[in-house]
Amino acid sequence: MDDLKVKISTIVKELFGVEVPVEFAAVPAEIEGDYSCNVAMRLAKVAGKAPREIAADIIAKLPDDYKYSIAGPGFINITISGKAFANQLRQVWTEDYGYNESGADKVAVSEFPSTNMAKPYSVGHLRPGTQGWAAKRILEANGWKVITDNHLGDTGTPFGIWATGFKRSGRAIDDVTIYDLGDIYIQMKADMKAEEARGEHALADSAQDWLLKLEAGDDEAVDLSRRFNKISLDHVHSVMKRMNMVTDYELGESFFVERGKALVKKYLSEGIFEQNDDGSVICRLDEFGIDVPMLMLKSNGAALYATTDLGCLDYRLHEWKADRLIYAVGAEQKFYFEQLFAVAKKLGWDAEMQHIWFGTIDQVTSDGKREKMSSRKGVVLLEAMLDDAEKRVRENFANSDSELSGEDVRRIATGAIKYSDFVADRKTGILYDPNKIFALTGQSGPFCQYACVRMRRILEKNADFAAGNSGFGDYDFETEKTVLRRILEFPALVASVADKLEAHRIAGYCFELAQEMNRYYENAPISTAVDEVRSARLWTVAMAATVLERGLDLLGIEIPERM
Ligand code: ARG
């Protein structure tokens, strides 16, 4: 279509002596034409003529490879034959169709899911994972090199609290799970708060002692810390594995403590940061329209969350040479990241920084109210959610002929959960409605997955035929037209979502393509078709299958072998 755009530009220049941007918009199915161009309306003033007349002048000079009509106030609608779409797709099709190299030589860091070591993985860290992973895949599809990093919440205090609580529980370390550690931690936090209210500090002292012992290299403390970390990390890894996600690095907060402190010292001495009377250090951000300074160091000289993030930013920008930083973190930390990015600007650190935040995950209560997802015990654990999802998938498929493998159950369950994250713009809250999420109809992950499985099956069934037949003869591709048109939109879509990381637009596209395919089969029998018709149809299915799989892959959604 680029050729035609150039032609229209040239004609406009010739006729009216001006240059105007020529753009095509897709035309809705009920209206005649495939693309429409509004250039005639833009020229009305210059030409001093009615847009419909201008449109007619332009059309008179256009080559007759396509059909043209004038619509509404003066749109030029262009109708392309199915065959022209097929030819176009054959021309642009490559091994890596849909991907581009616009980000070549550029490095991005995508940070997710950044769970906290002291607590089990909960649904609170579900969206960071799915969104952060999609950001990675989308940028890779646009040629970027992407480094992924799980910024684990692992700074000091949890260990002291765990160790105290664990000793007090009298339990043996070998049968303690992350859930026990999580309970111990929560109980200890509550007890410490109560103790503080009473003006006592025995537990707090003990936690502090353990930290000191760890720092001094005490055998028991070192051993316990290793064990706790292993329990916690094994847990994070096993949940991530179920979600089919890994990160290249796991540089937790503690990794950046010293680096952050050194930077605070440096910028304090350079007068960019300021010290309060109590010894704490701040960075003023008034010049960025933020009137709350960022607290960079505690009054006792201890590192804060922001201290470690400063060290981490520096590391990503200067060790990894990142051009772009992506933080997939909940909306509660919006202001925090606004401050952090402003601090980076103030320091002259140059890179694109994006906090991709999102809405909450809601559920509908038994009396029909919408509220933030929770369970009787408080937060919903991600493992529990995945177990429940797999159970629902098994139930949904209980009566079908194909026995699902365990892997396929996992793929469908996680596909459903992940897709629900992309149904709308990420800023919108998700409504976790199992009846919709796991359904094989409507806009769901399983619906899209099923479309892929069905296409694969068609291709397998016809494998012998497709392999032995390459020509399309004079086939007109009119039945395939809408499918082909949609497939042709994919590369531009992938390119257009890279800036704002709009994974939901990919999800919408996948759904529409899957729907398009369902409509297509109704009008286009494949296995009973002959020769070039069959060949053309199988080719169309193969193209659609590749594109749909690629689209879902950008969302981290896997395709089951059977469904
Ligand atoms: N662990 C943090 C939390 O769960 C998220 C970390 C976000 N990343 C960062 N670089 N601060 O709230």
Give per-residue pLDDT as tens, 74-130. 999 999 999 999 999 999 999 999 999 999 999 999 999 999 998 899 999 999 999
Beta carbon of 340 within 6 Å of any ligand 1 atom: no
pLDDT above 70: residue 306: yes
438: amino acid identity, one letter: F
Taking only the tens place, the pLDDT of each residue in 467-514 is 656 688 899 999 999 999 999 999 999 999 999 999 999 999 999 999
Ligand 1 atom having least distance to the Cα of 124: 4
Q: What pLDDT is recorded for position 158?
A: 82
- The answer to which of 173-182, 238-247, 259-268 has the lowest mean pLDDT is 173-182
In short, whether 127's Cβ falls inside 6 Å of ligand 1 is no
Distance in Å, CA 153 to ligand 1 centroid: 7
Contacts of 427 (CB under 8 A, 6+ apart): 331, 357, 358, 359
Atom of ligand 1 nearest to the CA of 337: 11
> Residue 458: its pLDDT value, please?
95
Cβ–ligand 1 contact at 309 (below 6 Å)? yes
- Region 48-69: mean pLDDT is 93
Instruction: Let me know: does 323 contact 351? Beta carbons within 8 Å.
Output: yes
Task: Give the predicted TM-score (pTM) of the model.
Answer: 0.92
pLDDT band at 517 (very low <50, low <70, confident <90, very high): very high
- Judge whether residue 399 has pLDDT over 90: no
What pLDDT is attached to residue 414? 98
Choose between 29 and 318: higher pLDDT. Answer: 318
127 CA distance to ligand 1 centroid (A)? 13
Domains of the chain with bracketed CATH: 2-80 (3.30.1360.70), 89-99+379-563 (1.10.730.10), 153-245 (no CATH)
Kindly report the average pLDDT of the chain as a whole number.
Answer: 93
Contact call for residues 21 and 13 (beta carbons, < 8 A): no
> Ligand 1 within 6 A of 307 CB?
no
Q: Is pLDDT at 151 greater than 90 in this prediction?
A: yes
- Find where tokens 């419909």 sit: 52
Does the pLDDT of residue 156 top 70, yes or no? no
DSSP 69: E
- Alpha carbon 112 to chain centroid distance? 10
Q: Which residues contact 488 (CB under 8 A, 6 or more apart)?
A: 85, 88, 89, 92
Q: What is the pLDDT of residue 530?
A: 82
Residue 155 — very low, low, confident or very high, per pLDDT cuts 50/70/90?
confident
Distance CA 89, CA 262 (A): 56
Dist. CA 246 → ligand 1 center (Å): 17
Residue 157 C-alpha from the chain's centroid = 32
| Top-confidence residue, 155 or 61 | 61
Q: What is the pLDDT of residue 484?
A: 96
* Minimal-distance CA residue to ligand 1 atom 5: 114
Tokens of 97: 């169709």
Rg (CA), the chain: 29
Dihedral sign of CA atoms 20, 26, 29, 32 in order? positive
- The Å distance, Cα 128 to ligand 1 centre, comes to 10
**What's the pLDDT band for 412 if we cut at 50, 70, 90?**
very high
The Cα 435–Cα 169 span in angstroms is 42
Q: How confident is the model at residue 430 (pLDDT cuts 50, 70, 90)?
A: confident
Question: For the segment 187-232, what is each residue's pLDDT rounded down to a tens digit?
Answer: 999 999 999 999 999 999 999 999 889 888 999 999 999 999 999 9
The string of pLDDT tens digits covering residues 323-379 is 999 999 999 999 999 999 999 999 999 999 999 999 889 888 878 888 888 877 678
Single-letter code of the amino acid located at 308:
T
